[in-house]
Amino acid sequence: MKVFYSEVCLKHAPKHEIISGNLIDYLESPSRLIIIKEYLNSLSNFDFVSPNDYGLDPILSVHSKDYVEYLQTAYEEWVKNGGNKNGILPEAFLHHNISSSSSIKRKVKVTSPFAKAGLYCSDLSCCITKDTWESVYESAQVVISATMELKRFVEESSSEEINHFPGIFALCRPPGHHANSILSSGYCFLNNVAISTNVLKKDNNKVVILDIDYHHGNGTQEIFYLNSNPLYVSLHGSPDYPWFTGDESERGEGEGEGFNINIPLSRDTDDDEYLKALKKVINENIIPYNADYLIVSLGVDTYKEDIIGALQITTEGYKRIGEMIKSINLPTLFVMEGGYHLETIGINVGNVLLGFNT
Ligand code: SP5
Ligand code: ZN
């Protein structure tokens, strides 16, 4: 199985974040990626490939030009104006209850880097350091490169070969599924799976995004909410971060109605219950959708001892999840999202991929 990977993704390394009011070491650390890489390396069925550079165009198919320019230039502006050299954290957010009068709203002009910090971000987990843009850009390039490789394989292969295809893994960070077209949040800056989806959609492919990260992929949901392609399916712990989205009643709107499926799970959900919910949505929604490609937002923060997540999935459970994803029988791209228990992150990710390939 090919694994797309780049050491440039390791450069983004904020010192701290605030969770439940506690200032703690940044959990979305470079070590996460290194540990996964080393574990997969020790298994010998994984070949590591460096990404190509596909430029900004695929990124701009999802994200606004303003937002991307902000990410590119924010750190320099912030420091020039006296912001802390360790990186950007917002002082105030553009909350929807501020300036609720439309005449005041029109007057809001955002020019200060301290205002922009809160305009383009919605929580305190997306510190922008001097290295952030480089890693964020590289993370997207890893995913685009993996997508191009998958597309090339499918276009050049017989259906028999495609049936036995081992899938491709984009081992990237920062993750993406909480970012929407104009906002970073939840460690995410660019929405990698959305960018990949748009690359595939350019050739009129139908795409399913299956999001198995512990958290609801609010960014991905938002980006495609009015769209019937992709079908977005998320299984996630609830109630939990990102707190304001992920309800079953969020089903998409307009042309997108019925193509957004949320499956909130309570914190005692174990392997059997999780697999039952996954099987149901595969049979009732994913298979009938008749897609050309499957993109998996792969988070292993559903692990029973994860520091942030609160579900009860076991290391063995991940093998069964991988096997079940294989039963969808589509050309598949796995894209790394969350997972914070460093002792098991390697084997848990490895087990999904091995399960998929048994
Ligand atoms: C990609 C990804 O997994 N992002 C997750 C970001 C989560 N950040 C906030 C975590 C808040 C956890 N709060 C738990 C409160 C109950 N103990
Ligand atoms: Zn997560």
- Report if residue 60 sits inside a domain: no
Q: Are residue 267 and residue 231 in the same domain, yes or no?
A: yes
Rounded to the nearest whole angstrom, what is the distance from the C-alpha of residue 290 to the centroid of ligand 1? 33
Q: Are residue 107 and residue 147 in the same domain, yes or no?
A: no
12: annotated active-site residue: no
**Which residues make Cβ contacts (< 8 Å) with residue 45, sequence separation at least 6?**
1, 354, 357
pLDDT attached to residue 277? 98
pLDDT attached to residue 106? 64
pLDDT attached to residue 347? 98
Q: How many domains does the chain have?
A: 2
Q: Are residue 88 and residue 147 in the same domain, yes or no?
A: no
With the most atoms of ligand 1 within 8 angstroms of its CB, the residue from 123, 177, 308 to mutate is 308
Q: Are residue 227 and residue 109 in the same domain, yes or no?
A: no
- Report if residue 111 sits inside a domain: yes
Q: Write down which residue in 74, 94, 119 finishes a domain.
A: 119
Rounded to the nearest whole angstrom, what is the distance from the C-alpha of residue 102 to the centroid of ligand 1? 33
Q: Are residue 97 and residue 178 in the same domain, yes or no?
A: no
Q: Write down which residue in 119, 143, 162 finishes a domain.
A: 119
Please state the atom number of ligand 1 nearest to the C-alpha of residue 299.
Answer: 3
pLDDT attached to residue 109? 81
pLDDT attached to residue 104? 67
Q: Are residue 22 and residue 106 in the same domain, yes or no?
A: no
Residue 334 belongs to a domain with what CATH number? 3.40.800.20
* Amino acid code (one letter) for 344: T
pLDDT attached to residue 102? 72
Among 12, 63, 177, 178, the one annotated catalytic: 178
| Alpha helix segments (H runs only) across 205-344 | 218-223, 271-281, 287-289, 315-326
- Nearest bound ligand to the CA of residue 301: 2
Question: Cα 67 to chain center, whole Å?
Answer: 18
Does the predicted interface ipTM exceed a cut of 0.95?
yes
Q: Are residue 76 and residue 204 in the same domain, yes or no?
A: no
Helix or strand holding residue 356 (H, E): helix 345-356
pLDDT attached to residue 252? 98
DSSP bridge pairs for 3: 48, 169
Q: Are residue 253 and residue 349 in the same domain, yes or no?
A: yes
Q: Are residue 144 and residue 267 in the same domain, yes or no?
A: yes
Q: Is residue 133 within 8 Å of 70, Cβ to Cβ? A: no
Dist. CA 208–CA 193, nearest whole Å: 10
- Report if residue 61 sits inside a domain: no
Please state the atom number of ligand 1 nearest to the C-alpha of residue 188.
Answer: 1
Q: Digits of tens for pLDDT over the chain (358 positions)?
A: 999 999 999 999 999 999 999 999 999 999 999 999 999 999 989 999 999 999 999 999 999 999 999 999 999 999 999 999 999 999 999 988 886 677 766 667 899 999 999 999 999 999 999 999 999 999 999 999 999 999 999 999 999 999 999 999 999 999 999 999 999 999 999 999 999 999 999 999 999 999 999 999 999 999 999 999 999 999 999 999 999 999 999 999 999 999 999 999 999 999 999 999 999 999 999 999 999 999 999 999 999 999 999 999 999 999 999 999 999 999 999 999 999 999 999 999 999 999 999 8
**Which residues make Cβ contacts (< 8 Å) with residue 56, sequence separation at least 6?**
68
How many Å from the N-terminal Cα to the C-terminal Cα in the chain? 12
pLDDT attached to residue 101? 72
Pocket of ligand 1 (CB under 6 A): 19-20, 125, 175, 178, 186-188, 213, 215, 241, 299, 301, 308, 337-338
Q: Are residue 226 and residue 86 in the same domain, yes or no?
A: no
pTM: 0.98
- Report if residue 124 sits inside a domain: no
Q: Are residue 31 and residue 174 in the same domain, yes or no?
A: yes
Q: What's the CA dihedral at 214, 220, 222, 228 to 10 degrees?
A: -120
- Report if residue 299 sits inside a domain: yes
- Report if residue 143 sits inside a domain: yes
Q: Which two tokens stand for residue 83?
A: 């912001």
User: Range of 113's domain?
Assistant: 66-119
Q: Are residue 72 and residue 195 in the same domain, yes or no?
A: no
